[in-house]
Amino acid sequence: MKPFSYERASGVAAACASAAEPTAKFIAGGTNLIDLMKLQIETPAHLVDIGALPLGDIEETQNGGLRIGALVTNSALAADMRVRRRYPLLSQAVLAGASTQLRNKATTGGNLLQRTRCPYFYDTSKPCNKRVPGSGCAAMAGFNRMNAVLDVSDNCIAAHASDMAVAMTALDAQIETVARDGTARTIPIDALYRAPADTPHIETVLAPGELIRSVRLPPPPPGRQVYRKVRDRASFAFALVSAAVVLATDNGRVRAARVAFGGLSYKPWRSADAEAALSGATLTRASYDAAGTAALKSAHGYGHNDFKIPLAQRTLRAALAEATGTI
Ligand code: SF4
């Protein structure tokens, strides 16, 4: 690990000012950043510890939603009774991620900003445009089983690793930030992440020093909520594919549907195509399969990850069947 200086921030404004320096980084739980620093993939000269800031609460909002502080741990989020009752999808997704020990340390803000688990990103002997811009992409012709199949570029096919963010995407979460100059803004979660294009090392729209303060959940949408994750082992593994579904039905037909996938793209993938296919559809396997076909129509495999396309379709079918109580 390279030497670095450390500062325990006493206020949001001071934290943002310190972290705006080009070689500085925020740290909270550190469950991803510390690993990356040990490998010298991340080499900040200065760490701004935001762990003491008052961002650790979950509050009701005036319209019946919840505001989740950026420092709420994954464990606290998943266990909160308001989350479990009104947003079970979110609780399920958080509990599907990592391990108990990691969830006790990992925070809401950090989970959103975790880096990819593409194996070549972590292998400093291999080219990686995300780690070293312009060096190439070893995953493109390499062992890309975990990589993405939707809306990526020839410069990077990394998949986003979060389960929590997939559920939040289906729930239309809003990310609340504060900038170095004190300006607050709200970013729909779907607009937080940048497509890799030719700058895959720039992953979000956040400015230097801009801090995620909280995540605002709108009132829960009508319908049943299901999170289904497919992975190589039953615990402590990233998703090959996951599907978050919110489904409201009426007289044997879909009244409203929300669908988001994990493991398929550089961000949690909200599928307007699947939702359109489900609108008014009958609760049948044919309808679920039509939604899966629509969701993956623009997908492109890179060899080892071709299987993700039919797997995502089957995962969506299973999640929809679970949401309608037909399995
Ligand atoms: Fe690096 Fe992205 Fe290629 Fe993985 S997919 S090697 S993260 S550039």
Tens digit of each residue's pLDDT (9 = 90 or more) over 143-159: 999 999 999 999 999 99
Atom of ligand 1 nearest to the CA of 147: 5
Let me know if residue 312 belongs to a domain: yes
- Strands across the sheet with 184-188, in order? 58-60, 66-69, 211-217, 174-178, 184-188
Mean pLDDT score, 199-213: 98
If one counts the domains in the chain, the total is: 1
CATH number of the domain within which 253 lies = 3.30.390.50
pLDDT tens for residues 104-116?
999 999 999 999 9
- In the structure encoding, which two tokens stand for residue 231, read together? 């992975």
Let me know if residue 121 belongs to a domain: no
User: Exposure of 237 by Cβ count < 10 A (0-12 exposed, 13-18 middle, 19+ buried)?
Assistant: middle
CB of 71 closer than 6 A to ligand 1?
no
Q: What pLDDT does residue 278 have?
A: 98
- In the structure encoding, which two tokens stand for residue 212, read together? 């995620």
**Is the pLDDT at 327 greater than 70, yes or no?**
no
**Is 0.95 surpassed by the pTM of this model?**
yes
CB of 302 closer than 6 A to ligand 1?
no
Let me know if residue 160 belongs to a domain: no
Q: Cβ of 56: how many Cβ atoms within 10 Å? A: 17
Residue 295 CA to ligand 1 center (angstroms) comes to 24
Cα separation, 157 vs 145, whole angstroms: 11
Let me know if residue 156 belongs to a domain: no
Mean pLDDT score, 111-138: 98
pLDDT tens for residues 39-91?
999 999 999 999 999 999 999 999 999 999 999 999 999 999 999 999 999 99
Please name the residue whose Cα sits nearest to atom 2 of ligand 1: 156
Q: What pLDDT does residue 130 have?
A: 98
- The backbone torsions φ and ψ at residue 79, rounded to the nearest 5 degrees and listed phi first, read -90, -15
**Is the pLDDT at 326 greater than 90, yes or no?**
no
Mean pLDDT score, 24-34: 98
**Which of 36, 41, 122, 128 for mutating ligand 1's site (highest number of atoms within 8 Å of CB)?**
128
Q: In terms of residue numbers, what domain contains 319?
A: 226-324
Q: Where are the beta strands (DSSP E) in the chain?
A: 5-8, 24-27, 46-49, 58-60, 66-69, 174-178, 184-188, 211-217, 224-230, 241-250, 253-262, 269-270
On the CB side of 152, CA atoms within 13 Å amount to: 27
Q: What pLDDT does residue 155 have?
A: 98
CB of 156 closer than 6 A to ligand 1?
yes
Nearest 5°: the CA angle 281, 282, 288 is 75
CB of 266 closer than 6 A to ligand 1?
no
CB of 146 closer than 6 A to ligand 1?
no
On the CB side of 66, CA atoms within 13 Å amount to: 20
Please name the residue whose Cα sits nearest to atom 3 of ligand 1: 137
Cα separation, 10 vs 3, whole angstroms: 23
Helices marked H in 63-146: 74-79, 81-86, 88-95, 100-105, 108-113, 119-122
Let me know if residue 255 belongs to a domain: yes
**SS3 of residue 272 by DSSP:** helix
Using an 8 Å Cβ cutoff, are 239 and 268 in contact?
Answer: no
Let me know if residue 3 belongs to a domain: no
Let me know if residue 291 belongs to a domain: yes
Q: What pLDDT does residue 325 have?
A: 86
Which residue is it, tokens 């650790």? 56
Using an 8 Å Cβ cutoff, are 265 and 163 in contact?
Answer: no
Let me know if residue 100 belongs to a domain: no
CB of 158 closer than 6 A to ligand 1?
yes
**Which of 32, 42, 117, 118 for mutating ligand 1's site (highest number of atoms within 8 Å of CB)?**
118
Q: Computed over its alpha carbons, how large is the radius of gyration of the chain? A: 19
